[in-house]
């Protein structure tokens, strides 16, 4: 972040300087365990934890804190020499600091939203843009009313481009984020039935996603998926610059001469330039086309884009290919929804396999009252080229019912209540030559299944 004193922090957050006005910091943290010698700790009050409970712990390392109160049990010796700013609400202060930094520093802000692919698209955009500009990106999936401002608060002062996600669970969240920061470029990946528990229909999800384009800077740019009708519908009436990407429909950046190479990735052409993407699947090609359109929108050369594409690697648990005892694990366990699951199963169907195709599918969360219907429909849609279906979690029983309706026999369907049970079964079930997809919503914890399998193989190899 910019080098700031606590006097400046008080001014930028609308807080009161309690002490240590000349103490300077270079980073912001909200987790006391991440406090560093150059950081300010924002004591965020959440639903489960209150950061003020960890103030003393944070101040053993951090240079100071932004608080709504100083707990009586914090010793005076811990506070000595520290910068302290008192505010009415530490979350609003975190956001206010982000707004002030955004107003004072001339970086280009790129914001990504969509139902699937946000994090991968963010990583791709950052890789392409970083080939020619000093670039900073949000980490993990920090895309909410705390995570997104935290990203801006930690932006180094010499950065030219910031790339951040903007997610939502409820209407109004993106409006609050985008209205706070006014991105220069808004990027849409796709719109589908994700978080439908909170919205009821895809049309209402689309309406909420529209909040990003309504809050880009005047004269800003939006990047649109021409293959997603919901994305195109919400862009009608937008008066700024529009740029489109896609595969099936005419677009400014359309993927042509596509050759899918299964788990080896995809080769394609766009605007007369040839590329080879190492990440597998059509969905990753869509994400890359979004990234290419975004990079070109802010002036990155084709040479820079080529360098960036060459460096692309999948993020953790988002399409990682692993060898486990001669079997190939396709680890896409970070998250799931019906749209993303269908894409992953299509990739399984296309892959060259010497033994069995095994789909380990965990529950898909936040699908609302019709969640069991969505799971059952997903089960019916599983390609018949899949040899074994393994459901994990209580909702996946409906998925297995759909698979049975589609013709899968009982001997080819298995169910486990949790990730650990699935891992124990897979340890002895999978064999060399198998291709195993592992996919679920993050709350189901199938990343633990992957870790247990890989650690088991490592341990066996050590004997």
Quick one: fold of 4-95?
3.40.1390
What's the rounded mean pLDDT across residues 61-87?
Answer: 93
Higher pLDDT, 144 or 384: 384
Beta-strand ranges (E) seen in 43-96 are 64-67, 83-86
At 28, is the pLDDT very low, low, confident or very high (cuts 50, 70, 90)? very high
Instruction: Indicate whether 267 pLDDT > 70.
Output: yes
* Distance separating alpha carbons of residues 339 and 408, to the nearest angstrom: 21
Residue 195 scores a pLDDT above 60: no
| Mean pLDDT of the residues in the chain | 91
Domain 320-462 has CATH 3.90.190.20: yes
SS3 content of the chain, % helix, strand, coil (to 5): 40, 20, 40
Burial zone of 409 (CB within 10 Å; 0-12 exposed, 13-18 middle, 19+ buried): exposed
Residue 458 confidence (pLDDT) above 80: no
How much is the pLDDT for 260?
A: 84
**CB-hemisphere CA count at 13 Å for 174?**
29
The answer to whether the CB of 305 falls within 8 A of the CB of 296 is yes
Report d(CA 215, CA 234) in Å as an integer.
13
pLDDT (average), residues 413-436: 95
In the chain, CATH 3.40.1390.10 sits at 4-95
> Could you tell me which residues are beta bridge partners of residue 17?
85
In angstroms, the CA 360 to CA 446 distance is 9
Question: Considering the chain, what percentage of its residues have pLDDT values greater than 70?
Answer: 95
Contact 25, 64 (CB under 8 A): yes
More confident residue, 400 or 202: 400
Cα separations in angstroms, 14 against 86, 90, 151, 156, 429: 9, 11, 20, 22, 60
Q: How far apart are CA 449 and CA 426, in angstroms?
A: 9
Model pLDDT for residues 129-170, shown as the tens digit of each residue: 999 999 999 886 666 888 889 999 999 989 999 999 988 777
Residues of the chain with CATH 3.40.1190.10: 105-310
- Judge contact between 200 and 220, C-beta under 8 A: no
Structure confidence by residue, pLDDT tens digits, 102-118? 999 999 999 999 988 89
Task: Answer whether CATH 3.40.50.620 is correct for domain 105-310.
Answer: no
Residues of the chain with CATH 3.90.190.20: 320-462
The alpha-helical segments, DSSP class H, found in 155-281 are 173-181, 196-199, 202-213, 229-234
């Amino acid at each position: 972040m910019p080098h700031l004193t606590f006097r400046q922090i008080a001014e930028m957050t609308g807080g009161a300087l309690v002490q240590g006005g000349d103490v300077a910091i270079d980073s912001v943290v909200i987790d006391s365990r991440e406090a560093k010698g150059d950081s300010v700790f924002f004591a965020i009050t959440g639903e489960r934890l209150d950061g003020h409970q960890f103030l003393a712990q944070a101040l053993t390392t951090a240079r100071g804190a932004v608080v709504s109160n100083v707990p009586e049990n914090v010793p005076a010796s811990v506070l000595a020499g520290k910068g302290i700013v008192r505010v009415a609400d530490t979350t609003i202060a975190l956001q206010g600091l982000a707004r002030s930094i955004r107003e004072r520093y001339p970086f280009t802000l790129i914001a990504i939203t969509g139902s699937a692919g946000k994090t991968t698209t963010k990583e791709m955009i950052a890789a392409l843009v970083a080939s020619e500009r000093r670039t900073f990106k949000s980490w993990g999936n920090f895309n909410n009313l705390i995570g997104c401002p935290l990203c801006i608060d930690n932006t180094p002062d010499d950065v030219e481009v910031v790339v951040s996600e903007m997610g939502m669970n409820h209407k109004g969240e993106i409006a609050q984020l985008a209205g706070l920061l006014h991105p220069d470029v808004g990027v849409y990946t796709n719109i589908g039935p994700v978080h439908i528990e909170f919205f009821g229909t895809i049309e209402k999800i689309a309406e909420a996603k529209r909040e990003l384009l309504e809050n880009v800077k005047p004269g800003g740019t939006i990047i649109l998926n021409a293959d997603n009708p919901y994305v195109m519908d919400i862009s009608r009436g937008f008066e700024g610059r529009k740029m489109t990407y896609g595969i099936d429909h005419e677009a400014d950046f359309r993927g042509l001469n596509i050759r899918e190479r299964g788990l080896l990735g995809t080769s394609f052409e766009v605007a007369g330039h040839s590329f080879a993407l190492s990440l597998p699947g059509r969905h990753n090609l869509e994400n890359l086309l979004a990234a290419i359109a975004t990079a070109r929108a802010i002036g990155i050369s084709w040479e820079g884009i080529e360098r960036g594409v060459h460096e692309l690697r999948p993020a953790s648990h988002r399409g990682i290919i692993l060898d486990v005892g001669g079997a190939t694990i396709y680890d896409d366990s970070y998250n799931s929804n019906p749209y993303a699951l269908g894409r992953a199963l299509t990739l399984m169907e296309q892959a060259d396999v010497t033994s069995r195709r095994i789909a380990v599918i965990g529950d898909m969360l936040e699908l609302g009252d019709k969640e069991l219907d969505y799971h059952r429909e997903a089960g019916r849609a599983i390609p018949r080229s899949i040899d074994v279906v393994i459901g994990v979690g209580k909702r996946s029983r409906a998925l297995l019912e759909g698979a049975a309706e589609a013709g899968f026999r009982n001997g080819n369907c298995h169910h486990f209540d949790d990730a650990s049970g699935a891992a124990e079964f897979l340890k002895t079930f999978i064999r060399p030559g198998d291709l195993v997809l592992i996919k679920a919503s993050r709350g189901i914890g199938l990343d633990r299944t992957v870790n247990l399998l890989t650690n088991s193989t490592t341990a066996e190899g050590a004997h």
